[in-house]
C-alpha cells in the first residue's frame, strides 16, 4: 500500500531527477569524443554516459526512497512491491552516433502494476510524465493517442534487436507493409511508446524488448489512451517480452499482424 502523498512525492521527485540526469547526458552528447563507445554485443551499444547516468539515478533514488528497489539496464537489480525500472539512455545507438532520438526512461511499478512513467528526451526538450489514473502530459500539456483507425493510413514503429532472428523481423515488416501501413524504426523503444502517446505514430510493436525500455512508456501511452499488451505478465520484468501498443481502433488488426494480443480498452 502507498498513500496518494507517497506516490505524488515519487512523481515530483523523479521528474527533477530525470531533468538532472538529462542535463548530464546532454553534456556527454555534446562531446561525442568523450563517449568511450564500446559494444556489449552485435548492434548493442554502450557509452560511458550510460553508466554515469545510471549511477547518478541509483544513488539519488536509494537516498530518497531507501525502501524501494531498483532495476537498471546496466546494473541489474531485484523486483519488489515498489520497484523503479530505469534505462539511463534508451536509444544508445542513436546517442553514440549523434542522433537526437534518445531519452532517459524511469518507470515505477507498485505491486507489479505500472504506476509512474517519466521519459525525458533532452535533445528535444520533451518531458513525458504520467501517473496511473491521472492522465499523461508532454511538457505539462495533456497528450492523447491519435484517432488512427485505418491500417492503410497507419504509421507504425517496429522495434528491432538481434535478440530475435532477423527472419521474424523481416516477415513482420513485410506483413505490415502488405496490410498498407507505413513502417519505421527510430531505435528508442521508450520514445516509440511516447510517440504513440502523443499521436506522432499510431502504434509501436516489438517481438522482444526489455522491461527498462518500456516500464515508463507503458504508463505514459496507457494514460494517453493506448491499448497495450500485457507486457509484465509472467517473467516480463526479468526477461522482457513482446509488446504491442496502439490506438484502440487498430488493436485487433495489428494484433493479427504481429501475433501480439493487446488488452482491450
Ligand atoms: C534498445 C532500444 C531499441 C529497441 C531495443 C532496445 P537501448 O535499447 O530501445 O529501440 O528496439 O529492443 O534494446 O540499447 O538503446 O537502451
Average pLDDT for runs of 10 along the chain of length 265? 94 97 95 81 82 96 97 90 97 94 98 97 98 97 96 97 94 96 97 98 98 98 98 94 97 96 72
CB 50, CB 21: distance < 8 Å: no
169 lines ligand 1 (CB under 6 A): no
Which distant-in-sequence residues (6+ apart) come within 8 Å of 240 by Cβ?
A: 163, 208, 209, 210, 211
DSSP letter for 1, please.
-
pLDDT on residue 142: 98
pLDDT at 179: 97
Q: Could you tell me if the CB of 232 is within 6 A of ligand 1?
A: no
How many other C-beta atoms are found inside a 10 Å radius of the C-beta of residue 4?
A: 8
What was the pLDDT predicted at 35?
79
pTM of the model: 0.95
User: Is the CB of 161 inside a 6 Å radius of any atom of ligand 1?
Assistant: yes
pLDDT at position 44: 78
What pLDDT score does 42 carry? Answer: 79
The pLDDT value given to residue 76: 86
- Residue 4 CA, ligand 1 centroid: distance in Å: 32
Testing ligand 1's pocket by substitution, the residue of 53, 161, 191, 206 carrying the most ligand atoms inside 8 A of its CB is 161
For ligand 1, atom 5: residue with the closest CA? 161
Number of H helices, E strands in the chain: 8, 14
State residue 265's pLDDT score: 56
Amino acid at each position: 500500500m502507498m498513500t496518494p502523498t507517497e506516490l505524488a512525492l515519487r512523481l515530483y521527485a523523479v521528474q527533477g531527477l530525470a531533468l538532472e540526469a538529462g542535463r548530464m547526458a546532454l553534456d556527454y552528447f555534446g562531446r561525442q569524443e568523450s563517449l568511450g563507445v564500446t559494444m556489449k554485443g552485435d548492434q548493442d551499444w554502450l557509452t560511458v554516459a550510460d553508466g554515469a547516468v545510471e549511477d547518478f539515478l541509483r544513488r539519488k533514488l536509494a537516498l530518497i526512497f531507501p525502501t524501494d528497489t531498483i532495476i537498471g539496464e546496466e546494473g541489474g537489480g531485484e523486483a519488489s512491491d515498489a520497484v523503479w525500472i530505469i534505462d539511463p539512455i534508451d536509444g544508445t545507438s542513436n546517442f553514440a552516433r549523434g542522433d537526437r532520438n534518445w531519452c532517459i526512461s524511469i518507470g515505477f511499478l507498485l505491486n507489479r502494476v505500472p504506476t509512474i512513467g517519466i521519459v525525458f528526451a533532452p535533445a528535444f526538450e520533451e518531458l513525458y510524465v504520467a501517473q496511473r489514473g491521472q492522465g499523461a502530459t508532454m511538457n505539462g500539456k495533456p497528450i492523447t493517442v491519435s484517432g488512427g483507425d485505418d491500417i492503410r493510413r497507419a504509421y507504425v514503429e517496429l522495434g528491432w534487436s538481434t535478440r530475435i532472428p532477423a527472419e521474424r523481423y523481416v516477415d513482420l515488416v513485410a506483413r505490415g507493409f502488405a496490410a498498407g501501413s507505413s513502417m519505421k524504426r527510430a531505435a528508442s523503444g521508450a520514445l516509440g511508446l511516447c510517440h504513440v502517446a502523443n499521436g506522432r505514430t499510431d502504434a509501436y510493436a516489438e517481438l522482444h524488448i526489455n522491461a527498462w525500455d518500456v516500464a515508463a512508456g507503458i504508463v505514459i501511452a496507457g494514460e494517453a489512451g493506448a491499448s497495450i499488451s500485457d507486457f509484465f505478465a509472467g517473467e516480463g520484468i526479468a526477461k522482457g517480452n513482446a509488446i504491442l501498443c496502439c490506438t484502440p481502433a487498430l488493436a485487433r488488426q495489428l494484433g493479427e499482424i504481429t501475433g501480439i494480443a493487446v488488452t482491450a480498452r
